[in-house]
Amino acid sequence: MSVIMTLRVPGSPAKLEQFTAENPDAVRGISEKAQGYGVIAHRFYGSDNEIMVVDEWPDPESFQRFFKDMEPEIGPIMEQVATGEPVITFWRKLETGDDFGWE
């Protein structure tokens, strides 16, 4: 069963949006490589001073390989938009019998 990965980091959502607007090829390249590592779904979210990535991966190891191998591409982006260290959490789906809206 797949896992949800959240990566939360203090930083500027506006700077991330500006970077992605100015560097669409770099962002697209990272997304395409993530797909090669098995990512199923991906989104960025922002609040006042925090950026969150929400991904679905086949397993934690697939994300960890991707993140380690892509550090040369991801690191410089993080340096521009983050003001602290990321916190990565893996989540498993709980079987509660009340699922709706995700299929």
Domain-wise residue ranges, the chain? 3-91
Fold for the domain defined by 3-91 = Alpha-Beta Plaits (3.30.70)
Mean per-residue pLDDT of the chain: 95
User: What's the mean pLDDT in 81-96?
Assistant: 96
pLDDT at 1 over 80: yes
Tens of pLDDT, residue by residue over 45-80, are: 999 999 999 999 999 999 999 999 999 999 999 999
Output the DSSP codes for 18-41: HHHHH-HHHHHHHHHHHHHHT--E
Rounded to two decimals, what is the model's pTM? 0.91
pLDDT at 31: 96
- Is-contact 38 69, C-beta < 8 A? no
